[in-house]
Amino acid sequence: MSKLTLDDLRKLRDVRRKEINLRDTTAKDVQIVVGMGTCGIAAGAKDTLNALVDAVASQNLGNVSVRQTGCMGLCHSEPTVEVAVPGMPRVIYGRVKAEQAAQIVEQHVVGKRLLDSHILDRPAVDVMR
Amino acid sequence: MHATVCDYIADLVQNAVEAGATRVALEIETRSERVAVTVADNGCGMDAAQVRRAENPFFSAPGKHDRRRVGLGLPLLRQATEATRGDMEVRSTPGQGTTVSFRFDAQHVDTPPLGDLAGTLLTLLSLPGSYDLAVHRCAPAGDYAVARHELAETLGDLENAVNLALARQYLTALERELDVPPRPRARAA
């Protein structure tokens, strides 16, 4: 197998951009933040971040950012993931492994429904509809 | 708890970025007899007393987590290397930076596995901040180098999930080129 070069990566990027532009994406400026302090790393947050990246890429969502932050102070429920979708309350999910990461993308980001079973920080009642 | 060498690497590189480093150099070498890692940064550095405190499990650098009273990254690494006939060294100069090197005996039964290096590098190359991370990876089958600024120039926004997926595909391909076979574990005495 020949070594993958940065030029190859550039070509892959161009192909993916064309694929995404052809699809109708409803995810605009979605932000996903993964807690990546020592507690998060120990609980498997690196795998969580990678699973989120996979899930978003497989759904061809072009306007989703996946960022990292340090410890959010919720060490008891790592890995933690904060999700901000326009028009929905900001939510922090806890105990997010790869399976929950895929569910978050499919159900919350695409389906616009909260994943109730893993909500750590519940939005205020008057925000919920 | 940290289950893989990659978990320790992630801790050290994060520490470097949080110390204000603008340049971080990560060297990872895997051979049949050893795993050797060096993280060198140009961050704020520490004096001798601060280095000793950094290895105290009941000390955490101020500003990271206000209520936290433990800092386990370096103490856990020290414990893990010494339990596996390895070693760890911290060299630091205030105002210049810090270099942390550690080695595991690859044949020791308690040496942790390397882990998902491509996934870990993706995490580290996309940490928030104005820094460059230069990675040099060596194995018996060859070596590769990758830098954050190169990925950013090639892909663009390294917080965009699709770009991150492409970066991970690239890193996975580089790592597969080395085709490192699983390490046979030594029998327990």
Q: What number of CA atoms fall less than 13 Å from residue B64's CA on the CB side? A: 22
| Domains in chain B, number | 1
Please state the pTM of the whole predicted model: 0.83
Collapsing DSSP states into helix, strand and coil, what is residue B170?
helix
Quote the pLDDT of residue A1: 45
Q: Would you give the DSSP letter of residue A111?
A: T
Of A7, A8, A9, which to mutate for an interface test with B (greatest number of B Cβ within 10 Å)?
Answer: A9
- Does B98 touch chain A if contact means CB atoms closer than 8 Å? no
In a domain, A118, yes or no: yes
For A79-124, the pLDDT digits (tens) are 999 999 998 989 999 999 999 999 999 999 999 999 988 998 755 5
Looking at residues A57-82, what average pLDDT do you find? 87
**Could you tell me how far CA B20 lies from the centroid of its own chain?**
16
Whether B64 has a pLDDT exceeding 80, the answer reads no
Quote the pLDDT of residue B57: 72
Whether A66 has a pLDDT exceeding 70, the answer reads yes
Distance CA A46, CA B171 (A): 15
Domain of residue A60 covers 25-123
In angstroms, what is the C-alpha Rg of chain B?
Answer: 17
Side chain identity at A105, as an amino acid letter? Answer: V
| Domains in chain A, number | 1
CATH number of the domain encompassing residue A66: 3.40.30.10
For B121-170, the pLDDT digits (tens) are 999 998 888 999 999 999 999 999 999 999 999 998 898 888 999 999 99
Domain of residue B61 covers 5-114+130-141
In a domain, B171, yes or no: no
Give the helix ranges, DSSP H, for B19-94.
48-54, 73-82
Q: Would you give the DSSP letter of residue A109?
A: I
Q: At what angle do helices B161-178 and A6-22 cross, to 10 degrees?
A: 150
Chain B residue with CA closest to A54: the answer is B165
Contact (CB<8Å) A65/B18: no
In a domain, A53, yes or no: yes
Distance CA B74, CA B100 (A): 9
> Is the separation of the CB atoms in B107 and B35 below 8 Å?
no
CATH number of the domain encompassing residue B18: 3.30.565.10
Q: What number of CA atoms fall less than 13 Å from residue B159's CA on the CB side? A: 16
In a domain, A43, yes or no: yes
Quote the pLDDT of residue A83: 94
In a domain, A70, yes or no: yes
**Could you tell me how far CA A120 lies from the centroid of its own chain?**
16
Q: What number of CA atoms fall less than 13 Å from residue A122's CA on the CB side? A: 7
Whether A25 has a pLDDT exceeding 60, the answer reads no
Q: Peptide bond preceding A79: is omega within 30 degrees of 0, i.e. cis? A: yes
> Is the separation of the CB atoms in B39 and B100 below 8 Å?
yes
In a domain, B66, yes or no: yes
Collapsing DSSP states into helix, strand and coil, what is residue B112?
coil
Whether B120 has a pLDDT exceeding 50, the answer reads yes
Looking at residues B52-74, what average pLDDT do you find? 67
In a domain, B30, yes or no: yes
Q: What DSSP letter does each residue of A19-87 carry, written as one string? A: HHHHS-----SEEEEEE-SHHHHHHTHHHHHHHHHHHHHHTT-TTEEEEEES--S-GGG-S-EEEE-TT
- Does B47 touch chain A if contact means CB atoms closer than 8 Å? no
Answer with the residue of higher pLDDT: A15 or A1: A15
Phi, psi for B161 (deg, rounded to 5): -60, -35
In a domain, B62, yes or no: yes
Looking at residues B81-108, what average pLDDT do you find? 95
Of B164, B169, B174, which to mutate for an interface test with A (greatest number of A Cβ within 10 Å)?
Answer: B164
In a domain, A55, yes or no: yes
> Is the separation of the CB atoms in B185 and B112 below 8 Å?
no
In a domain, B26, yes or no: yes
